[in-house]
Copies of this chain bind each other. A is one copy, B any other.
Amino acid sequence: MDDSNQADAPQPSAGRGGPTRSLDPKLLERILLQATTAPSEYNLQPWRFLVVRDERNRRRLRAASWNRPEIDRAPVVVIVLAHHFPFRTHLEPMLEQAIAAGSCSPEKAAEIRGRAVASLERPINHELWATRSTMLAAARLMWAAESLGVSSTMLEGSDALRPEFGIPDDHSICCLIALGHEPAPDPTPGRFGLDEVCFSEHFGQPWRA
């Protein structure tokens, strides 16, 4: 998941790296709260954040993550998880909260309940379903960090983390976000233009503004 401008970055020398600064817990909490404001289908919020700060745990995390040095250098690493079945446990609390917030009436809640159950108890790909919203939350987490002056790097997650951190099979490991390490140096590797990734009206039809 990491951008290749991270992957391409030269490893910092021991002199440049130095000891990792810690991240203020209240600032971290603001970042996490911002992440939870992402949108999700039926507001079911399938994201879960496993926050690793303990030094010994970060070493275990690094060992189970292709030994990526960013993990050691960062004072905080968030393991971003997508819960496949939140509609089985979190639909009622969500609706109660929405009614309490004045966002919907009990009648409207009953209608949402019916639609959500009908839609999500079908044999759809629940992992993909949960991953979509969770990546929106991951993006929001990184942006909140950036807005608050905290650098971030997204890294690929590995299933080797499951036994280490007790992650159940119905939670996908979407990515890791290392917070508070040194930012990657410029220049970035660039991006494809809209002529490559954008179409007008029909797949394959060139983009024109």
A residues in contact (CB < 8 Å) with B: 1-8, 25-26, 28-29, 32-33, 36-43, 45, 47-54, 57, 81, 90, 93-94, 97-98, 100-104, 108, 112, 127-128, 131-133, 135-136, 138-140, 143, 154, 156, 165-168, 171-172, 174-175, 187-192, 194, 196-204, 207, 209
Residues of A contacting B: mostly? mixed
Complex: how many Å from CA A37 to CA B197? Answer: 12
| Set of chain B residues within 8 Å of A154, measured between Cβ atoms | 39, 136
| A53, B7: Cβ atoms closer than 8 Å | no
B28 touches A209 (CB 8 A): yes
Residues in B whose Cβ lies below 8 Å from that of A112: 4, 7-8
A33 contact from B5, B194, B199, B200, Cβ within 8 A: B194
A47 and B209 in contact (CB under 8 A), knowing A101-B188, A103-B189, A132-B174?
no
CB-defined contacts of A3 to chain B, threshold 8 Å:
39-40, 43
* Set of chain B residues within 8 Å of A202, measured between Cβ atoms: 50, 165-166
Are A42 and B7 closer than 8 Å at their CB atoms?
A: yes
Q: Is the CB–CB distance between B4 and A43 below 8 Å?
A: yes
| Given contacts A36-B194, A51-B207, A5 and B188 within 8 Å (CB-CB) | no
Q: Are B8 and A209 closer than 8 Å at their CB atoms?
A: no
Cβ contact within 8 Å between A97 and B203: no
Q: How far is the CB of A1 from chain B (nearest CB, A)?
A: 5
CB distance from A150 to the nearest CB of B (A): 15
Contact B139 A136 (CB under 8 A): yes
Q: Considering the chains assembled together, what is the distance between the CA atoms of A112 and B3 in angstroms?
A: 12
Which chain B positions have C-beta within 8 A of A26? 209
* A203–B50 CB distance below 8 A: yes
Contact present for B32 and A104 (CB under 8 Å): no
Residue in B closest to A52 when the chains form the complex, CB atoms: B201
